[in-house]
Amino acid sequence: MITFLDRNFSQLNDFLTENTFSKIFILVDENTHEYCLPLLLGNLETEISFEILEVEPGEEMKNIQTVNQLWEILTEMQADRKALIINLGGGVITDMGGFVASTYKRGIKFINIPTTLLSMCDASIGGKTGIDLMHYKNMVGTFSFSEQIFVYPQFLETLPYKELRSGFAEMLKHGLIADQSHWESLIRIQKLDMEGIFPHIQTSMNIKQEVVEKDFHEKNVRKTLNFGHTIGHAIESLCLAKESPILHGEAVALGMICETYLSYLEGLITETDFEMIIENIKKYYSFIDLSDFKEEDIFDLLLNDKKNVESEINFSLLSGVGSCVFDYHCKTENIKKSLEFYKKISGF
């Protein structure tokens, strides 16, 4: 359930009162510790004892080593099966915190309080938890719903522009795969700031929630949420391996450009739609230099994508503005053309 918090966080306090938890563990990174935790603690009204668990920020921390440290801390603090983990942070915190909770003692309860646009509109919703394996994105994880998602949009006021833009990519994706009117509303936004984005957040969250409710374990329609992510995750993984990480939304924007072109090459969308979509994505995102990446390295990652079956690369591609097909197998030649197209328009 998604609940928007009032200024006093009364809905969160009601939730804690209505449930019996032995102890609360609040997972933060250094950024949310500084900018978000004081507001949470200032409004927290509970007699339940709590501890703060802090990790360093960044995708590079979303690994089994960090998870093992958190498991050990929970064990040392004698967390039992009635403990609650509150994940206060962006996508890394909600992904990793959910994974820790869903595996510790075979599962304890957790809630998500997303603090970035990316985590509000994407990572905190849908019950996917996970960590990276080496430089492969989200290769280890579970399907496990949080008890609640509590959203306080004012947290976005603490975000730098690049983080807002990162989350906006997932919102654009939601419009492209499922809701043409949402897409059209988003591309009319002239300035990516709290005022421009705020009215559209709940629509994006609802789109993802509705898709997930139809297909929790990603057997069919939930796969449409992977549009832009097959190529996007490959590039994000390569950047991570080179120790020059890019934001998830930047990778998704790149992936959406390539996969929109793929949709056109495969005859799924018209040239008019293809050009319109690319031009609108380019309005918000600068290009990423792919010149240092070998084609074979990109394909190695594409072939290792967790959505694949029997070495077939499974794409989710647009079949129109607001509609998407999944489990689509593209010609290898067209995948290469999509990467060349991106390099050509990027100018690198």
Tens digits of per-residue pLDDT, 250-285?
Answer: 999 999 999 999 999 999 999 999 999 999 999 999
Confidence of residue 312 (pLDDT cuts 50, 70, 90): confident
Q: What does the pLDDT look like over 170-207, one tens digit per residue?
A: 999 999 999 999 999 999 999 999 999 999 999 999 99
- Nearest to 15, CA basis, from 146, 117, 103: 146
Residue 156: which residues within 8 A CB-CB, separation 6 or more? 115, 116, 117, 120, 164, 194, 197, 198
- Could you tell me what percentage of the chain is helix, strand and coil, using 3-state DSSP and rounding each to the nearest 5? 55, 15, 30
What is the dihedral sign for C-alpha 228, 231, 237, 242?
A: negative
C-alpha–C-alpha distance, residues 78 and 81, integer Å: 10
C-alpha–C-alpha distance, residues 316 and 232, integer Å: 12
Burial classification of residue 106, based on how many CB atoms lie within 10 Å of its CB (0-12 exposed, 13-18 middle, 19 or more buried): exposed
For residue 312, what is the DSSP state?
B
Element (H, E) at 289: none
Q: How does the average pLDDT of the chain come out, rounded?
A: 95
Q: Is the pLDDT of residue 213 over 80?
A: yes
Confidence of residue 135 (pLDDT cuts 50, 70, 90): confident
Q: What does the pLDDT look like over 19-60, one tens digit per residue?
A: 999 999 999 999 999 999 999 999 999 999 999 999 999 999
Q: Is the pLDDT of residue 236 over 70?
A: yes
Q: Domains in the chain, ordered, with CATH?
A: 2-156 (3.40.50.1970), 161-346 (1.20.1090.10)
Residue 210: which residues within 8 A CB-CB, separation 6 or more? none
Residues 254, 288 contacting (CB under 8 angstroms) = yes
User: What per-residue confidence (pLDDT) applies to 304?
Assistant: 82
Element (H, E) at 51: strand 50-55
Q: What does the pLDDT look like over 95-119, one tens digit per residue?
A: 999 999 999 999 999 999 999 999 9
Q: Is the pLDDT of residue 294 over 80?
A: yes
User: What per-residue confidence (pLDDT) applies to 303?
Assistant: 87
Return the percentage of the chain with pLDDT > 70, whole number. Answer: 99
Q: What angle do CA 169, 170, 172 make, to 5 degrees?
A: 65
Q: Is the pLDDT of residue 326 over 70?
A: yes
User: What per-residue confidence (pLDDT) applies to 317?
Assistant: 98
Let me know how long the chain is. 348
Q: Is the pLDDT of residue 310 over 70?
A: no
- Nearest to 330, CA basis, from 297, 346, 308: 308
